[in-house]
């Protein structure tokens, strides 16, 4: 075991992929000389050179499109977008090209591109750098959407994604890059097709992902002090959702609270609620609850940003309301 951070775990995954496969290269804004906007790619330019660590112009549509073309040509590009807000400038490339070409070509063409981007708030970067839009992308057929919340997943999801013949989007919560902990020296690829039970319990199911996982685990610890054992499910993969793990937990606890940093209306949380109602309605002892971000652009002021986001206190309150 070695002490590491989420940032270093992602860097290690990129480095190993580039060492093991000459088709893998990294491209994006400031990934080279600057070392990445979140310092994830620090040192990779010196190690692999400018052909494989490529600084791009500030045009998301252009460099995501170039990544799609490279993938069609047999390469394995890792495309980094600085923040998911800026990914909207490449939405045409992602939705109308990457996600559709396999279908439109009758299976003749595949797009094995991995697109990484930072998501989430909590660092006072205001509305244009702080939103959680992964739920939007989870709406699109033809892609996989991942949300690593642990060191193991930060290290292990990328190699599995690079083996996928179709586009994979990885949303790394910017508030997790400094997360530190122990990681096995031989940590490697992990599956990207199922959720994980991060804490066992029998009174209520808490479903979450990404940056909200650690808040949810803290809320579960507080609830345990009140005699309420909550089961915490980390979705890990937002498309496709692992319905089986969610429903198995709900059938055990008979209550569910969904914690999602996205906005409430039209949210990923709403989709999960609908699936629980479709598949496990008669198992419920209370309506499914949601804890989401306030429906405002994320504020800059620290106290307002805090108030706009799901917090431990709000999760605990939602569970108490569930239990009456």
Provide the token pair at 238. 């937002």
Looking at the predicted structure, is the pLDDT value of residue 323 above 90?
yes
134 vs 81: CA distance, rounded Å? 13
Provide the token pair at 292. 């989401």
pLDDT digits (tens, 9 = 90+) for 51-67: 999 999 999 999 999 99
Share of the chain above pLDDT 70, in %: 100
Q: CATH topology for 2-183?
A: Rossmann fold (3.40.50)
Q: CATH topology for 196-322?
A: Rossmann fold (3.40.50)
108 vs 124: CA distance, rounded Å? 45
Provide the token pair at 240. 């496709």
Cβ atoms of 72 and 46 within 8 Å: the answer is no
252 vs 249: CA distance, rounded Å? 5
Question: So where are the chain's domains?
Answer: 2-183, 196-322
Looking at the predicted structure, is the pLDDT value of residue 45 above 90?
yes
2-183 and 196-322 have identical folds: yes
| DSSP structure class, residue 31 | S
Q: Are strands 168-173 and 114-119 parallel, antiparallel or unpaired?
A: parallel
201 vs 220: CA distance, rounded Å? 9
Cβ atoms of 262 and 135 within 8 Å: the answer is yes
| Catalytic residue, candidates 60, 261, 271, 305 | 60
95 vs 141: CA distance, rounded Å? 9
93 vs 66: CA distance, rounded Å? 10
| Catalytic residue, candidates 8, 29, 80, 129 | 129
195 vs 217: CA distance, rounded Å? 15
Query: Residue 324's pLDDT is what?
Result: 87
| Cα radius of gyration (the chain) | 20
Instruction: Give the residue-averaged pLDDT of 90-109.
Output: 97
234 vs 212: CA distance, rounded Å? 9
Looking at the predicted structure, is the pLDDT value of residue 37 above 90?
yes
pLDDT digits (tens, 9 = 90+) for 242-277: 999 999 999 999 999 999 999 999 999 999 999 999
Q: Is 139 tagged catalytic?
A: no
Q: Is 303 tagged catalytic?
A: no
| pTM for this predicted structure | 0.97
pLDDT digits (tens, 9 = 90+) for 196-234: 999 999 999 999 999 999 999 999 999 999 999 999 999
To the nearest whole number, what is the mean pLDDT of the chain?
97
pLDDT digits (tens, 9 = 90+) for 110-168: 999 999 999 999 999 999 999 999 999 999 999 999 999 999 999 999 999 999 999 99
């Amino acid at each position: 075991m070695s002490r590491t951070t989420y940032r270093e775990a992602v860097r290690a995954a990129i480095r190993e992929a580039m060492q093991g496969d000459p088709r893998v290269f990294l491209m994006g804004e400031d990934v080279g000389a600057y070392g990445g906007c979140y310092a994830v790619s620090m040192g990779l330019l010196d190690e692999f050179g400018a052909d494989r660590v490529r600084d791009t112009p500030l045009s998301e549509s252009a460099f995501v499109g170039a990544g799609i073309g490279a993938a069609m040509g047999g390469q394995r590009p890792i495309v980094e977008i600085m923040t998911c807000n800026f990914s909207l400038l490449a939405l045409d490339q992602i939705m109308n090209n990457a996600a559709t070409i396999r279908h439109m070509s009758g299976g003749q063409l595949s797009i094995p591109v991995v697109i990484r981007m930072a998501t989430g708030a909590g660092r006072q970067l205001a509305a244009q750098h702080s939103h959680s839009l992964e739920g939007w992308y989870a709406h699109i057929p033809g892609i996989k959407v991942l949300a690593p919340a642990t060191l193991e997943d930060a290290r292990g999801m990328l190699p599995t994604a690079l083996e996928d013949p179709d586009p994979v989007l990885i949303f790394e919560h910017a508030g997790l890059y400094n997360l530190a902990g122990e990681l096995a020296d031989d940590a490697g690829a992990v599956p990207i097709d199922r959720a994980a039970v991060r804490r066992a319990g029998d009174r209520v199911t808490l479903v979450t992902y990404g940056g909200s996982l650690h808040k949810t685990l803290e809320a579960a610890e507080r609830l345990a002090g009140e005699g309420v054992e909550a089961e915490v499910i980390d979705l890990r993969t937002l498309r496709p959702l692992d319905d089986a793990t969610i429903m198995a937990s709900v059938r055990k606890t008979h209550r569910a609270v969904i914690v999602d940093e996205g906005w409430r209306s039209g949210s990923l949380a709403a989709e999960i609620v609908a699936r629980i109602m479709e598949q496990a309605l008669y198992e419920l002892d209370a309506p499914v609850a949601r804890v989401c971000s306030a429906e405002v652009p994320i504020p800059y002021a620290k106290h307002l940003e805090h108030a706009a986001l799901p917090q431990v206190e709000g999760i605990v309150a939602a569970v108490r309301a569930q239990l009456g």
